[in-house]
Amino acid sequence: MMQLGKALQSKGFLITVAQRQFNQTGSSLQHFPGFDFVTIPESLPQSESKKLGPAEYLMNLNKTSEASFKECISQLSMQQGNDIACIIYDKLMYFCEAAAKEFKIPSRSS
């Protein structure tokens, strides 16, 4: 995904990566100069997520993350003057598609 971001950035696109709080690591972010990173608040407590199997975890993550992702897109739209070209997301994070449809932003999963 990040390689795709680099390729798009080389063509002049501004890249914003939305990530979960638990995935945020400062050292890895340094490898992507010019990318903007925004954090989506955790909606599933880490202690609870450790109790779930992979499939159940993904289902809960998608159910609980949709609202915070929509809020993130809303804020980015206001900051960028509704100039979000596309939402590209991991196909396991299908909650992104609902936000893209609501805001009428093209989207693609990878």
Q: Are 43 and 62 in contact (CB under 8 A)?
A: no
Name the token pair of 76. 């980015």
Kindly list the structural domains of the chain, giving each domain's residue range(s) and its CATH number in brackets, ordered by start: 2-109 (3.40.50.2000)
pLDDT at 26: 59
43-98 pLDDT tens trace: 677 777 778 888 998 898 888 889 999 999 999 999 878 689 999 999 999 999 99
The answer to pTM > 0.85 is no
Q: How far is the C-alpha of 109 from the C-alpha of 92, rounded, in Å?
A: 9
The one-letter amino acid code at 54 reads P
pLDDT at 1: 86
